[in-house]
């Protein structure tokens, strides 16, 4: 972070007011200095994350958001880190939570509720097709933009295919009590897609009625109601809405209405226009609504090495290791990673040329390059190197690592 003209900055982002605060960080409004576009920057405290042992949760959220490029899912544009903070540059959604929208109106007209539910299911279906299961869907985690469109957010409890056991099921019990699926409570393993569908059914019920289908101050009683499917559907809802709620809130995940059946349901299909996901190469969009950052699938105009950050790494490798964001720094093993579209020979030539001009010596061996600065004097008569930097190219990922 650096101060500039009275405003705090993070790279090219000018930081503004705080939008919200949590246990391990805050979200601040920010504007891109070049384009003026608004973003939400999630600022996480690294030490607090480690102390609360939620580093895996944060890693999952970053990895998951990188995979998702859908108009009804909050976008992650960039990740950066300092010694004490992690910065997630996210799409700014200025309409608040769906929960607030429902609370303000009491309940939503069926036509409006159906439109939002269609968008929600488009987003959830898209996630499932990419092996992402949200596992904490509720109105507080669904945002609404200025145009009234929804954006699914908060993927901290989401699961990816590698989280499934050999039986192909998920086994971690998580979610919010009123929205959790009955099979999750049974601790016997569950299908992430069907548990998400259940939560979406609860959200639809809340939108259309203004009440929770399952609610009780006693948690044991609440879970008993969920397991039994003990709820009532108001008779004043249309027959179509009643039918789809009944099929979504089926306690048996095998007979519960799935995505395919949902798309064939008459009530769901009224005035339905499926959303179109963003193109896969539309990854670095940070300008205004009609501009994009320079794509990195070709050699950049300037012969410079682009600093590697998390969202680029995730795009390169499905086995991303984000542990460096959370490990305590050991000065003796300090590493800086860079990415470039240039071939290794070109990069080594540029490094060698530049460091020689700066008065350093270069040694090359087996794909590694060492930069040495020797000093001779009364305390160092033999000219032993007082500075040593080695560079190695990880060719399979086009990733360069400087080990100092």
Q: What is the average per-residue pLDDT within 258-283?
A: 85
Please report the pLDDT score of residue 3 as a whole number.
38
Residue 357 has pLDDT above 70, yes or no: yes
Query: Lowest-confidence range among 2-16, 75-89, 348-362?
Result: 2-16
User: Which residue from 75, 200, 64, 49 is spatially nearest to 137, judged by alpha carbons?
Assistant: 200
Phi and psi torsions of 131, nearest 5°: 75, 20
How far is 41 from 27, CA to CA, in rounded Å?
5
pLDDT tens, residue by residue, 180-197? 999 999 989 999 999 999
What 3-state class would DSSP assign to 72? coil
How far is 76 from 51, CA to CA, in rounded Å?
25
Assess whether the region 98-269 and the region 330-403 belong to the same CATH fold.
Answer: no
- Residue of 214 and 333 predicted with greater confidence: 214
Mean pLDDT computed over every residue of the chain: 79
Residue 271 has pLDDT above 50, yes or no: yes
Q: What is the average per-residue pLDDT within 363-367?
A: 72
- Residue of 213 and 356 predicted with greater confidence: 213
How far is 399 from 282, CA to CA, in rounded Å?
21
Can you read off the two tokens belonging to residue 125?
């279906």
Which residue numbers are catalytic?
136
Q: How many residues does the chain have?
A: 404
What one-character-per-residue DSSP string does 121-190 give?
HHHHHHHHHTT-B-S--SGGGEEE-TTS-EEE---TT-B-GGGS-TTS-B----S-GGG--HHHHTTS-B
Superfamily of domain 2-91: Phosphorylase Kinase; domain 1 (3.30.200.20)
Residue 376 has pLDDT above 60, yes or no: no
Please report the pLDDT score of residue 166 as a whole number.
86
Residue 34 has pLDDT above 60, yes or no: yes
pLDDT tens, residue by residue, 199-211? 999 999 999 999 9
Residue 6 has pLDDT above 60, yes or no: no
Please report the pLDDT score of residue 174 as a whole number.
86
DSSP β-bridge partners for residue 400: 338, 393
- Residue of 81 and 231 predicted with greater confidence: 231
Annotated binding site for ATP: 42
The answer to whether residues 402 and 387 touch, using CB atoms and an 8 Å cutoff, is: no
Please report the pLDDT score of residue 200 as a whole number.
97
Q: What is the average per-residue pLDDT within 55-71?
A: 87
Please report the pLDDT score of residue 67 as a whole number.
83
Query: Lowest-confidence range among 162-171, 234-243, 357-366?
Result: 357-366
- Residue of 235 and 360 predicted with greater confidence: 235
Superfamily of domain 330-403: Kinase associated domain 1, KA1 (3.30.310.80)
Match 């097709």 to its residue by tokens: 129
Residue 382 has pLDDT above 60, yes or no: no
The structure's pTM equals 0.70
Residue 384 has pLDDT above 70, yes or no: no
Q: How confident is the model at residue 9 (pLDDT cuts 50, 70, 90)?
A: confident
Rounded to the nearest angstrom, the gap between the alpha carbon of residue 379 and the centroid of all alpha carbons in its chain is: 53
What 3-state class would DSSP assign to 82? coil
CATH number of the 98-269 domain: 1.10.510.10
Query: Lowest-confidence range among 4-13, 44-53, 76-85, 143-152?
Result: 4-13
- Residue of 124 and 162 predicted with greater confidence: 124
Match 């996210």 to its residue by tokens: 90
Can you read off the two tokens belonging to residue 267?
């009530």
Q: How confident is the model at residue 370 (pLDDT cuts 50, 70, 90)?
A: confident
Sequence ranges of the domains in the chain = 2-91, 98-269, 330-403
pLDDT tens, residue by residue, 77-115? 999 888 888 999 999 999 889 999 999 999 999 999 999
Annotated binding site: 42
Q: How confident is the model at residue 33 (pLDDT cuts 50, 70, 90)?
A: very high
């Amino acid at each position: 972070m650096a101060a500039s003209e009275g405003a705090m900055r993070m790279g090219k982002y000018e930081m503004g007011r705080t939008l919200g605060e949590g246990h391990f960080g805050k979200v601040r409004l920010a504007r891109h200095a070049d384009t003026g576009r608004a973003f939400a920057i999630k600022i996480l405290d690294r030490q607090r994350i480690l102390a609360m042992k939620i580093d895996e949760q944060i890693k999952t959220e970053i990895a998951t958001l990188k995979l998702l490029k859908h108009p009804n899912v909050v976008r992650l544009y960039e990740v950066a880190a300092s010694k004490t903070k992690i910065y997630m540059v996210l799409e700014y959604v200025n309409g608040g939570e769906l929960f607030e929208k429902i609370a303000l109106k009491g309940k939503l007209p069926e036509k409006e509720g159906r439109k939002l539910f269609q968008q929600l299911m488009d987003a959830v279906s898209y996630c499932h097709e990419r092996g992402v299961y949200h596992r904490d869907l509720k109105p507080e985690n669904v945002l609404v933009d200025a145009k009234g469109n929804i954006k699914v957010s908060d993927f901290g409890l989401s699961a990816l295919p590698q989280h499934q056991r050999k039986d192909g099921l998920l086994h971690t019990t998580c979610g919010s009590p009123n929205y959790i699926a009955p099979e999750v409570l049974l601790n016997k393993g569950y299908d992430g897609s069907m548990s998400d569908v259940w939560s979406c059914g609860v959200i639809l019920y809340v939108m259309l009625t203004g009440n929770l289908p399952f609610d009780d101050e006693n948690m044991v009683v609440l879970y008993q109601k969920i397991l039994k499917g003990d709820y009532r559907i108001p008779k004043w809802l249309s027959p179509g809405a009643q039918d789809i709620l009944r099929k979504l809130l089926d306690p048996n995940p095998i007979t519960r209405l799935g995505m395919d059946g949902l798309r064939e349901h008459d009530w769901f299909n009224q005035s339905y226009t499926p959303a179109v996901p963003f193109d896969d190469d539309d990854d670095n969009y940070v300008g205004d609504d009609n501009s994009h950052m320079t794509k990195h699938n070709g050699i950049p105009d300037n012969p410079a090495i682009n600093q590697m950050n998390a969202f680029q790494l995730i795009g390169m490798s499905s086995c991303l290791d984000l542990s460096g964001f959370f490990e305590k720094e050991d000065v003796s093993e300090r590493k800086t990673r860079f990415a470039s579209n240039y071939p290794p020979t070109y990069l080594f030539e540029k490094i060698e040329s530049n460091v020689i001009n700066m008065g350093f010596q270069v040694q090359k061996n087996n794909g590694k390059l060492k930069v040495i600065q020797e000093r001779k004097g009364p305390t160092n008569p033999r000219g032993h190197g007082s500075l040593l930097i080695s560079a190695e190219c990880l060719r399979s990922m086009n990733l360069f690592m400087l080990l100092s």
